């Protein structure tokens, strides 16, 4: 079928590469490009030898001209952005300049303010439409599969959905006192920010970790979970008919929270640069350098993740509840692709999103969130590529 340019060579990228190679009918060729070319070469060495042809390149994705030159040289059909959210806009600019489709897994975040929202990327809608190219935003798990689940529930189960609770549980144990499962800088910025949810069309803000609930997750058991701000709330509240309230909860262990509090109290999670021995450093970036590399957690992590959405709404005038979720086993993921479940649950949907656009199923000029497309082919692909979903019509609810 065609060629994808994968930007980034971290935890998520390594799963995207593995999954593209499992799907050589669609991904005949991939080019892995990142800041550190050695990481791209290591991925090529790991997956070379199958039907998918792999090349590598070095690129600074903060620089539009470098990206444009790379895209012109490689001539991909699509760019899969699995670098960091800070690179979203430069990569979108390069796609516009070269008229190539675009997929990412996280919305743009300015490096100097820990605030993520879609307004910067939604501002590209007209330009992408005029260029005749598709941007698919947020094709990871959350955001990503949670949006596909919502579109599927809307299409097949409800006339209107009034309440959505997105629950993200990780019962994985890596044996370290403290580590983050994906990029520590992005992860800590996310969890140390104020919480928020949408009710009656308005954002309601909470203190960080202010709202706690306990939920009994299928295949995982009872876990403490905390309400966080999360990017898909913003788009789902607009795109799903009838929403009165939408919330996002993630599980954290007491030990994780105690470490985080301590790091916060001593100033290590700050993104304000400080002067250190004549050099400006950002404490959170320094912390990232001393924490375990998320990619190194794979071989050590045991246990499962369970991520899904509980819907409440109406069908044929009657109240109805519905729960869609996926359970993913860290050790199984590691056996299959050499990564733990957090990278796996993000990398698989990133490949599927790119496949949807490349095969023409989701090819539509403009900038779209994932729930704006027909969920059915994506739901089928989840079952086929390692993230089978399960459903319940009588789930426990979150009060
Ligand atoms: P990693 O930190 O492991 O990997 C990021 C990669 O991007 C690294 O290879 C890094 O290069 C590269 N990179 C960073 N800056 C640049 C740049 N300027 N130019 C070129 N390459 C660059 O992160 P993850 O793989 O864990 O996460 C990737 C993305 O996935 C993030 O945007 C994250 O927010 C998102 N994500 C989404 C989830 C979802 O469910 N939707 C869940 C988890 C993650 P180097 O190796 O040189 O540092």
CB of 5 closer than 6 A to ligand 1? no
In this prediction, residue 193 carries a pLDDT of 87
CB of 346 closer than 6 A to ligand 1? yes
Q: Do residues 95 and 104 make contact, with C-beta atoms less than 8 angstroms apart?
A: no
Phi, psi of 215 (to 5 degrees): -135, 140
In this prediction, residue 222 carries a pLDDT of 97
In this prediction, residue 306 carries a pLDDT of 98
Nearest residue to 333 (alpha-carbon basis) of 379, 286, 358, 297: 297
What's the gap in Å between 110 CA and the centre of ligand 1?
Answer: 15
CB of 35 closer than 6 A to ligand 1? yes
User: Are β-strands 78-81 and 27-34 bridged in parallel, bridged antiparallel, or unpaired?
Assistant: unpaired
CB of 84 closer than 6 A to ligand 1? yes
Q: Do residues 96 and 68 make contact, with C-beta atoms less than 8 angstroms apart?
A: no
Distance of alpha carbon 148 from alpha carbon 137, whole angstroms: 12
List Cβ neighbours of 160 (8 Å cut-off, separation of 6 or more): 241, 242, 313, 314
CB of 395 closer than 6 A to ligand 1? no
In this prediction, residue 188 carries a pLDDT of 85
| Alpha carbon separation from 198 to 108, 127, 371 (Å, rounded) | 20, 29, 17
Per-residue pLDDT of the chain (399 residues; tens, 9 = 90+): 999 999 999 989 999 999 999 999 999 999 999 999 999 999 999 999 999 999 999 999 999 999 999 999 999 999 999 999 999 999 999 999 999 999 999 999 888 766 778 999 999 999 999 999 999 999 999 999 999 999 999 999 999 999 999 999 999 999 999 998 878 888 888 888 899 999 999 999 999 999 999 999 999 999 999 999 999 999 999 999 899 999 999 999 999 999 999 999 999 999 899 999 999 999 999 999 999 988 788 899 999 999 999 999 999 999 999 999 999 999 999 999 999 999 999 999 999 999 999 999 999 999 999 999 999 999 999 999 999 999 999 999 998
Tokens standing for 254? 């007491």
In this prediction, residue 299 carries a pLDDT of 92
In this prediction, residue 183 carries a pLDDT of 81
Give the nearest ligand 1 atom to 36 CA. 47
CA 213 to chain centre: 23
What's the gap in Å between 64 CA and the centre of ligand 1?
Answer: 17
pTM, full prediction = 0.95
Distance of alpha carbon 117 from alpha carbon 115, whole angstroms: 7
CB of 13 closer than 6 A to ligand 1? yes
Distance of alpha carbon 229 from alpha carbon 208, whole angstroms: 9
Distance of alpha carbon 347 from alpha carbon 15, whole angstroms: 5
Nearest residue to 289 (alpha-carbon basis) of 265, 268, 260: 268
CB of 34 closer than 6 A to ligand 1? yes
């Amino acid at each position: 079928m065609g060629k994808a340019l994968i930007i980034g060579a971290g935890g998520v990228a390594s799963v995207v590469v593995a999954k593209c190679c499992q799907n050589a009918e669609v991904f005949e060729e991939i080019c892995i490009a990142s800041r550190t070319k050695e990481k791209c070469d290591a991925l090529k060495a790991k997956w070379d030898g199958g039907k998918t042809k792999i090349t590598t390149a070095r690129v600074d994705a903060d620089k539009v001209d470098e990206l444009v030159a790379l895209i012109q040289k490689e001539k991909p059909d699509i760019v899969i952005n699995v670098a960091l959210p800070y690179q979203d806009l430069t990569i979108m600019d390069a796609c516009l300049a070269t008229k190539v489709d675009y997929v990412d897994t996280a919305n743009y975040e300015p490096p100097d303010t820990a605030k993520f929202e879609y307004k910067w990327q939604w501002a590209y809608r007209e330009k992408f439409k005029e260029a005749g190219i598709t941007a698919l935003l947020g094709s990871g798990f959350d955001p990503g599969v949670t949006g596909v689940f919502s579109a599927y529930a809307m299409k097949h189960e409800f006339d209107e959905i009034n309440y959505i609770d997105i629950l993200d549980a990780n019962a994985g144990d890596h044996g370290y006192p403290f580590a983050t499962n994906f990029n520590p800088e992005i992860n800590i910025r996310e969890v140390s920010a104020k919480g928020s949810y949408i009710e009656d069309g308005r954002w309601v803000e909470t203190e960080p970790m202010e709202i706690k609930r306990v939920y009994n997750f299928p295949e995982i058991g009872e876990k403490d979970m905390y309400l966080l701000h999360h990017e898909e709330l913003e788009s789902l509240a607009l795109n799903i008919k009838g929403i009165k309230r939408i919330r996002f909860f993630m599980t954290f262990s007491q030990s994780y929270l105690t470490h985080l509090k301590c790091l916060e109290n001593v100033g290590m999670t700050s993104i304000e640069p400080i002067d250190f021995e004549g050099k400006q450093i950002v404490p959170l970036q320094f912390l990232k350098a001393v924490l375990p590399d998320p990619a190194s957690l794979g071989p050590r992590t045991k246990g499962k993740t369970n991520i899904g959405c509980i819907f409440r709404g109406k069908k044929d005038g009657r109240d109805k509840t519905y729960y869609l979720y996926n359970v993913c086993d860290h050790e199984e993921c590691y056996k299959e692709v050499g990564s733990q479940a957090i990278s796996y649950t993000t990398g698989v949907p990133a490949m599927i999103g790119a496949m949807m656009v490349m095969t023409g199923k989701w090819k539509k000029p403009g900038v779209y969130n994932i729930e704006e497309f027909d969920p059915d082919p994506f739901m089928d692909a989840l079952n086929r590529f390692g993230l089978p979903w399960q459903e319940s019509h009588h789930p426990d609810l979150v009060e």
